[in-house]
């Protein structure tokens, strides 16, 4: 597997947060995703120590990162939308919509950037209360 920054891979972030939620130390939570303790500390600090709430969390009916990689590879090979849909187990319209939404004009489809864009669209725009209310955060920390 290629090494991507945890900050740009929502699926890696979820593994990190699952480790933190299980009660692991930062050092133990970053082991499964093969990143440094410093990166884990950065993620934790940016979130205010609280796991960010995400909308759909890209589960279920949404495309996975693996499916997006398949779309990128098959599209680069010149496969049709129907052929790509058959390989990943989705309809051709789903593949077409994915390519339309997550490809920048004049560039090729990139699985990493497409996954990040989809994740950002799935997120709630509302920040966590403990992240915005410092007085409440201080009380909870104490």
pLDDT tens readout for residues 90-117: 999 999 999 999 888 888 999 988 888 8
State which residues form the domain around 85: 65-122
| Same domain as 114, residue 75 | yes
Neighbours of 32 (CB within 10 A): 13
| Same domain as 74, residue 47 | no
Rounded to 5 degrees, what angle do the CA atoms 34, 40, 46 make?
145
| Same domain as 72, residue 26 | no
The number of CA neighbours under 13 Å toward the Cβ of 18 is 10
| Same domain as 110, residue 74 | yes
- pLDDT tens by residue, 32-54: 888 888 988 988 888 888 887 65
CA distance 61 to 1: 24
| Same domain as 10, residue 37 | yes
Distances (CA, A) of 2 to 16, 34, 37, 69: 17, 11, 19, 12
- pLDDT at residue number 56: 47
In a domain, 25, yes or no: yes
User: For the chain, how long is the longest CA-to-CA vector?
Assistant: 58
Residue 122 · residue 112 · CB < 8 Å: no
| Same domain as 96, residue 118 | yes
In a domain, 33, yes or no: yes
| Same domain as 106, residue 81 | yes
Where is average pLDDT lowest: 44-58, 62-76, 101-115, 125-139? 44-58
Q: What is the mean pLDDT of residues 20-40?
A: 88
Please tell me the total count of domains within the chain. 2
Q: How confident is the model at residue 139 (pLDDT cuts 50, 70, 90)?
A: very high
- pLDDT at residue number 98: 93
> Could you tell me which of 2, 1, 46, 37 has the C-alpha nearest to residue 19?
37
Burial class (CB in 10 A: 0-12, 13-18, 19+), 118: buried
In a domain, 72, yes or no: yes
- pLDDT at residue number 68: 93
In a domain, 136, yes or no: no
Burial class (CB in 10 A: 0-12, 13-18, 19+), 61: exposed
- pLDDT at residue number 84: 95
| Same domain as 116, residue 73 | yes
In a domain, 48, yes or no: yes
Q: What is the mean pLDDT of residues 69-96?
A: 94
In a domain, 22, yes or no: yes
- pLDDT at residue number 43: 87
| Same domain as 113, residue 73 | yes
| Same domain as 101, residue 81 | yes
Q: How confident is the model at residue 123 (pLDDT cuts 50, 70, 90)?
A: low
| Same domain as 115, residue 70 | yes
- pLDDT at residue number 2: 45
In a domain, 140, yes or no: no
């Amino acid at each position: 597997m290629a090494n991507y920054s945890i900050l740009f891979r929502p699926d890696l972030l979820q593994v990190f947060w699952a480790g933190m939620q299980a009660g692991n130390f930062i050092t133990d939570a970053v082991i499964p995703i093969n990143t440094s303790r410093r990166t884990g500390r950065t993620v934790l600090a940016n979130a205010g120590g609280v796991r960010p709430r995400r909308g759909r969390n890209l589960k279920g009916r949404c495309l996975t990162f693996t499916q997006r990689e398949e779309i990128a590879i098959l599209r680069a090979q010149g496969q049709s939308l129907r052929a790509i849909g058959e390989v990943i187990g989705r309809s051709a319209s789903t593949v077409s919509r994915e390519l339309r939404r997550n490809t920048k004009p004049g560039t090729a489809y990139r699985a990493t950037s497409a996954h990040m864009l989809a994740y950002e669209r799935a997120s709630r725009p509302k920040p966590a209360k403990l992240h915005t209310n410092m007085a409440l955060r201080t009380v909870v920390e104490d």
